[in-house]
Amino acid sequence: MSEPDRRSPAERDAERRRILRRLTLWTWIYGLLAVALAIGSGALAAWLLGHVGLPFGPTWLVATAVMAGVPVLIHLVQAFRNKHRKS
């Protein structure tokens, strides 16, 4: 059996705040990494499509928007469905 938690409420609150700070930090790190990957993959796609004759700049913008926007859109639709399914 596990031993009961004998820490004070203040210690437990401090630990909760520390955990939330770390979680927030990692969430931002993963979000920024996802944006960087979308920008990089958009640049790669634009460079490859440049050999076909498409201009780099507009192709990069569209490819990045698709690579970042589609997953965000899917997430928002799922969140919307989950919210309205529970209520």
- The tens digit of pLDDT for each residue in 13-59 reads 999 999 999 999 999 999 899 999 999 999 999 999 999 999 999 99
Give whole-number Cα distances, 70 to 1, 2, 4, in Å.
Answer: 47, 45, 47
DSSP state letter for 31? H
- Containing domain of residue 62, as a range? 9-86
The number of domains in the chain is 1
Give whole-number Cα distances, 21 to 24, 26, 69, in Å.
Answer: 5, 9, 27
67 assigned to some structural domain: yes
Reduced to 3 states (helix: H, G, I; strand: E, B; else coil), residue 54 is coil
**Residues 67 and 42 sit within 8 Å (Cβ to Cβ):** yes
Band (85; pLDDT cuts 50, 70, 90): confident
